[in-house]
């Protein structure tokens, strides 16, 4: 297993400038995605799951509501946010809402 280096707060801030709505808080990056309805919410969650399985990197948590999905990512082995987390953020941004 390759251990990734934890990013500095400045590196995280720079990476998140490329994505709308992502924030760094309590050692994780987080975003709340909004959908138009529950079927689209479920489709989004399924797409997130597929990306995470393919990348072998899963959310700290995913809170699912009727038309919102909040996700949070960090790399536990590094003790914070790594490039793996910002790569996942980039992938999630490509999912159509």
pLDDT one-digit tens code per residue, 28-86: 999 999 999 999 999 999 999 999 999 999 999 999 999 999 999 999 999 999 999 99
The CATH number of residue 29's host domain is 3.30.1360.20
pLDDT of residue 65: 97
Residue 3 lies inside a defined structural domain of this protein: no
Burial 32-52 (b: 16+ CB within 10 A, else e): ebebeeeeebeebbeebeebb
Contact indicator for 50, 94 with CB cutoff of 8 Å: no
Q: What is the pTM of this model?
A: 0.91
More confident residue, 2 or 30: 30
CB 59 within 8 A of CB 51: no
Residue 4 lies in a domain: no
Domain total in the chain = 1
CB atoms within 10 A of CB 11: 15
Strand pairing of 68-73 and 23-25? Answer: unpaired
In a domain, 38, yes or no: yes
Question: Does a structural domain hold residue 1?
Answer: no
Domain that holds residue 66: 9-93
pLDDT band at residue 4, thresholds of 50, 70 and 90?
confident
Instruction: With respect to residue 69, please indicate whether it lies within any of the assigned structural domains.
Output: yes
Residue 34: inside a domain, yes or no? yes
């Amino acid at each position: 297993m390759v251990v990734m280096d934890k990013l500095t707060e400045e590196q995280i801030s720079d990476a998140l400038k490329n994505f709308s709505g992502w924030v760094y808080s309590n050692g994780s990056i987080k975003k709340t995605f909004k959908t138009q309805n529950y079927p689209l919410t479920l489709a989004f969650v399924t797409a997130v799951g597929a990306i995470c399985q393919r990348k072998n990197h899963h959310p700290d948590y995913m809170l699912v509501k009727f038309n919102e999905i909040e996700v949070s990512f960090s790399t536990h082995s590094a003790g914070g946010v790594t490039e793996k987390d910002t790569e996942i953020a980039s992938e999630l941004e490509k999912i159509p809402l």
